[in-house]
Every structure is written in C-alpha cells, then in structure tokens.
Structure 1
Amino acid sequence: MGRPVVGVVYGLVMVAVVVAVDVLFFRDHPWPRLMVNIGIVLVFGAFYLRFTRSA
C-alpha cells in the first residue's frame, strides 16, 4: 500500500474511534468530550509520526 492510502485508512480509523467514544461515553458531556477528542487525535498523530516515517 502506498503512503497516501495508509494516511487515509489511518484517518478513517481515527474518526471511527472518536465517534465511538463520543457515542458510548460522552454523549451529554461537551467539555470532557472535547478534551478526550483532542487527546485521541494527539495520540493518533504521535503514533502516525512515529511509525510511518521513512527511514
């Protein structure tokens, strides 16, 4: 798979995780929901940068 395909798949997985966490745990809590969403995006971004860099 090419690098752009990996990025798109990774982005879709991240969106799915964010939506699942929102629906399951934080439906009526806007501020904790925002903080957790930002945390999820930061963790996904860190893993993406760590494991997809070309050597």
Structure 2
Amino acid sequence: MSHTIFVTVYLVVMGLLIVGVDVLFLREHFWLRLGVNVGIVAVFALAYLLLLRDAFK
C-alpha cells in the first residue's frame, strides 16, 4: 500500500469518526462538540507523527 493511499484512508477514517461522534452524541452541544473534534484531530495527528510517519520509509 502506498503512502498516499494510506494517508487518504487515515483521513477518511478520522472524518467518519468525527461525523459519527457528532451525530450520535454531541448534536446539541456546540462547544463540547468543537472541543471533542479538536481532540480527535490532535490524537490522530499525534499518532501519525509518532507512530506511522516512518512506516513507509
């Protein structure tokens, strides 16, 4: 699997997780939803930078 395909799948999974959490749990809570979304993106970015960036070298 090439690096570009992996990153694309990684971003799609992150997007689906964000949308799923928004729709299922946080529909009426704007600030909490924003905070959770930022947290999800931060966790995915940290996981990519620390664990997955060097997987294709």
Identity score, percent: 47
Give the gaps of 5 or more residues in structure 2.
none
Provide TM-score, normalisation by structure 2. Answer: 0.89
- Per-residue displacement from partner, 1:2-52 (whole Å, max 9, x unpaired)? 111110000000000000000011001100000000000000111111222
Q: What does 1:1-55 align with in structure 2 at a 5 Å threshold?
A: 1-54=1-54
Deviating above 6 A after TM superposition, structure 1's stretches of 4 or more consecutive aligned residues are none
d(CA) in 1 for partners of 2:26 and 2:8? 26
Aligned length: 55
Provide TM-score, normalisation by structure 1. Answer: 0.92
Give the gaps of 5 or more residues in structure 1.
none
What is the aligned-residue RMSD (CA, Å)?
1.1
Larger RCO, structures 1/2 (Cα 8 Å, 6+ apart): 2
